[in-house]
Amino acid sequence: MGYLTNPETNLSRSLRIEGYRRAHEEHGVTFDPALIITGVNSHAEEDYANLSIALDRLLGLEQPPTVICTGNDKMALRLYGLLRERGLEIPGDISVAGYDDYTIISEQVNPPLTTVYLAYREIGIAAGQKLLRMIGGKGGQEGQEVISGPLVWRQSAASLDPAVGVFPKRRRRRE
């Protein structure tokens, strides 16, 4: 699985790379740092040109990945176009996954994008609770909290086992 990361200046970058590394470890998959490439240098429009170069590096590996994950859904959207320019079909030839579940992208692209839901609501609740603990003198200075979001399966990811085909569509619960 290749991973096209957010810019080095993005605070989420190191946490997402660590999650990528840990997921490999937990599933007994050899971690290969060559599969992690900076997809964009910043979020400025002109810096998305690096994405094409990064994709060519991944596809040019001796064993190119069958799945490419991106640091955000906007990068995944651009990746769709780059893969199609190279004659690759999603998910038939290569699977794609994003991050943020920015539904204006993830639900509108074809095929719909498998992506990790960025748990804004849960982050807000945790921040509010921490603030209330601090105001009440009950702690809250313990540092960073990590809030994980679920993976939202859509049709951009396929199994390597032809009998399974495309992974089932699963939607997150909205409260």
Assigned fold of 2-118+148-152:
Rossmann fold (3.40.50)
Domain boundaries, the chain: 2-118+148-152
Peptide bond into 168 cis (omega under 30): no
Cα 85 from Cα 98, distance rounded (Å)? 19
pTM of the full structure: 0.82
Q: Splitting the chain (175 residues) into consecutive groups of 10 residues, what average pLDDT does each group show? A: 89 87 90 90 71 94 93 94 96 94 95 93 88 79 76 88 52 37
